[in-house]
Structure 1
C-alpha cells in the first residue's frame, strides 16, 4: 500500500513515517499543494493523509480540488483544527475521515486501515498462493505454517503481487508502488529485490516460483496450480469456463485477422515510403489494443510480439520495415491455434512462457548445458548443436530467433567464419559470436583485424567465452530487442509553453516518454517522481535558471551522472562556457532542428546503454 502525506511540518511527517513504515506502508511526502497535485498525476496512491494548513493552500480547498479531478482516493484530514465547523467543511469538501492532533498512533492506524478497506484497494484478511500466506494486518509471511523473514521491500513486492494476481507490473510501476519518492532507486533495484525474494521463497520450500517474468512486459503472479501426479479430469465448472473462453477466442478471430491485415498493409506502405500519419497512428492503436487482447486470452508470446510492433510503428523508418514484416509473420503464426486447444486434463506448475527460440552451436557440451540451465528463466527455448552439420540440419527444420555461435571448433577457425557467412546469406537472424578470451587470435596485433572480419561478415555481437551464462543471455536479449524504438524517459524544463508543447509532440513520435515542466520551482519533485533518463533544460528561466538546476543535479549523489542537454537562444561564448563548466553534456541552440536534437539525445542515451548492457 502506498500513501501520500501532504504536510509541511517535518516533525509531523517524520513521526508519521516512523509509525506507518513499521506496518509495511510506503510513504511519499508532499510539503505543499502544488507538489501533491503533480504527484497525484503520475503516481497511484491508495490513501491520502492531508493537513489542513499548507503554505500555498488550505487542505480543505485542496481536498475539494482533488475531488473535482474525479480522484476517488480515500482522504484522511489530519489537523490541529478541532472545531465542529472545520470538521463539517472538511467532510463536505470530500474527505472520508477527520482526525485531530494530537492523535493516538493506534487510532490513526485503525482509521487508515478502515479507509483502505472501504476504498478501491481493500485489505484482505489473508492473501494466499497455495500454502504461501501473507497476513497484511500483521505483515507476516508463512509457508505451510512456517514463518518467512523478508525485508520490507521484499514483503511489499510479494503483497502487491498477491493482492493483484492478474496484473502485469513493469519496473517503473513497481518503483512507484514499493519505493518512496525520496529513495530514488534505479530500475535495477527491482531486479535485485525480486531476485532476493525468489531465493528466500525457494529456501522456504516453495516448489515453484510464484513470480512470473514476462520479458519485455514486466512481472506478475504466476497462476497457482496444485501439484498432482495423476491425470485428474477437470470438473464441470472448469470445463465450462474453458469452453466459454475458447468460444470467445473463436469469435475474436475475425477481428484479429482484419487487424493483422491492416498492420501488414501499414508495414508494406512503410517499406514503400508511402505510410501516412493517419495510417501510422491507426497501426500503433491496433497493435496497442492487441497487447491487451492477446494477454487476456493467455497468449503472452503473441502479446510481446504486438508490443514490438507497436513500438516499431511509433518511430517508423523504412529501414525497420523488414523487421516489422518478420514480427507480423511471427504474430500470425503465434495466433493460428487456440491457447486452449491442447490444454491438458490436469494442471502442473510450469516455467515462464518461452517467448523466443534460440540455437546455440558450440563444441563444448559444458557450455551448452550451462546455457540450457538458465534459458527457461529468460523465457527462451534453447536448441543445441555440438557440430556444424547438425546445426545446418536444425536450421533447415526451423528458423531460430537468434543464434549463439562458438567459433573455436577444433578443426579450423575459418569453419566457423564460413558458417557465419552462410547464416547471414539466409536472412537477418541476429548472431552472437563466442570465442576464446584473447580474441580470435593469440596475437594482440591481430585482435582488432579479426574482430573487424567478424563484424564485416555480419555478426551482431561478440563475447569472450569467459562471460557467464547470464552475460550471454543478457546480450541475446539485447539483440532480440535491438529494433525497439527508444522508450527512454525525458524531462524538459522550459518556460515557453509553445516550445514545450512542440518538443513533447516531436519526441513522443520517436517513442520517448516525455514530461514537460514550465515551472522550474517544481523541478525537484517532478525529477524524483518521473525519474528521467535525460534532462533538457532551458538556460534562461524566471526564478531558477537551467544553470542553477544543472548545478543542483550535479551536486546530488544519486542524480550526478544524469545526461543534461541545454536548450538556449544564447549563442555567445560566455553562456556556452558557463553551461559546460557546471556539467552540461551538450548545448543545443534555438531554433531547434528536430533531426539534430534526436541525434544528440540518442548519442547521450546510447552511451549509457552501452555501459549498462554490454558485459566487460
Structure 2
C-alpha cells in the first residue's frame, strides 16, 4: 500500500515515514500543495496524510480541491489545530478522519488501517495464492504455514501482485508502488527485487513461480491452478461418467442422421449436383460434429469430422472419393462405446483428447515423457524420430500443432528445411526446440539462430533442456491463442463516421465496442459500460481527450485503465502532452486496422505472440 504525506515539517515527515515504512507501507512526502497535486496526477495512492498548514495553501482548501477532482482516496488530516470549528471544516471539505498533534503512533496506525479497510480491498484480509499467504495486518508471509522472510521491497511487490491478481504491472508502475520518490532507482531495481523474491519463494518450496513475466508488458500474478483431485477421492466422478455415457447413447440417433446427411451430400458432390444450400448444410453439420465428438472423448473421430468439414468447404468432384472414405472411417470410429479405450476412473481424471500433436525429435528420452504427459493436456501425441517418417505422417494427416526438435545428428539445416515445408502446407503452429551451447555460442549467433527460425515461420522457440510441462504449456497457448476476445472497448470521438468504421472493424474480433461522440457524456458512459480499454480522440469540442485522460488518471478506481489516443496530430508537442497525462499509446489517423488491433491486444496483454511464448525470467 502506498501513502502520500503532505507536510512541510521535515522532522514530522521523517519520523512518520519511519513509523509507516516499518509497517511495510510505501511513503512519499510532498512539502507543499503544488507538489502534492502533481504527484496525485501521476502516482496511485491508497491514502493521504495531510497537514492543515502548508506554505502555499491551507490543507482544508487542498482537501477540497482533491475532492473536486473526483478523487476518492481516503484523507487523514493531521494537524496541531484542535478546535471544533477546525474539525468541522476539515470533515466538510471531504476529509475522512482528523487527528491532532501530538498524537500516539499506535492510534495513528489504527486510524490509517481503518481508512484503508474502507477501500475496495481490505488491508486486514489474508491474501492467498494456493498455500502461499500474505497477512497485511501482521506483514507476514507464509507457505504451508511456514514463514518466509522477505525484504520490505520484496514484501510490497508480493502483496501488490496478490492484491491485484489480474492486473499487469510494468516496471514504472512497480516503482511507483514500492519505492518512494526520493529513492529514484532505475527500472533494473525492479528486476533485481523480483529475482530475489522468486528465489526465496522457490526456496520455501513453491512448485510454481507465482509471478508471470509478460515480455514487453511487465509482470502479473500467474493464475493459480490447483492440483487435480485424486480420482479415488472424488465420489461423484463415477456418477458423472455414467451420466455422460447415457448421453452418448442418446446421441447415437442424432449422429446417424448427421452421418446420413453428410453421405447424401457426398453423393451429390460425386454426381456434381451439390447445391450451395446442401454444401453449407454439410459443412455446418461436420463442424458441429467436431465439437460433439471432442466433448465425448472421441479425438480420432473429431479429427475425421474436421477433414470432412474442410472437404465440403471447397467442394470439388475430385475429392468426393476421399470424402466417401472419410465418412466410412467416421462411421466405424463412432461405433465404439463411450470411453472404451480406457478405464472410467482414469479417463475421468483427464480432459478429452481434443487435439492431435506431432512431435519430431531424434531422441526418445525427450519423446517418452511428452507422450506420458500428453493426456493431461487433452492431447494425443504422434511421434517421429526421423524426418522421413515425419514427412510421411504429414502427408496422411494434418496435426493441430507440431513440436520440432532441430538437433538432428547430421545437421540442423535438415530440420529448418522441414520447417519451411510445414509452413508451406498451411498455418499449423510449430514449436521449435533446440540446444544452445552456452560455452561456444556467442550472443550474436544465438540471436541469428532465433531470427532465422522466426523468419521461417516458427510460432514459438524453447531452449533445451525443457520439462514436459514447459513444452505442453507452450503448445496449449499456441492452440488457444485465437480464442474469442471478450474485452470491452469505449471509443470517444466526435466523428460519427469514424466511430461506425471502428466498430465495424473491431466487433468481428469479439470486442464489445461502445462508441461515444459527445464527450460531455463520458463519465456516465464510462461508469455504465465499465470498459477494459479506452480509446480517445485528442481534439474534441468542449472536452478534449487530454482532459478526459486526466480525469481517468485522477480517479482512484479508474486510474489504471489502459488508454490509447487516436489523433491526426503528428507533432511531438501533442504526443508529449498525451503521454505526460498518462496515455499508454498514441495512434495516428488515418488508422490502419491491423496496427490498431495489434496495439489494443498488446495493452490488453493478449497478443498471440505473448500467448505463445514460454515464461521468461
Bigger RCO of structures 1 and 2 (CA < 8 A, at least 6 apart): 2
With the length of structure 1 as denominator, give the TM-score of the two structures.
Answer: 0.48
Which structure has the greater CA radius of gyration? 2
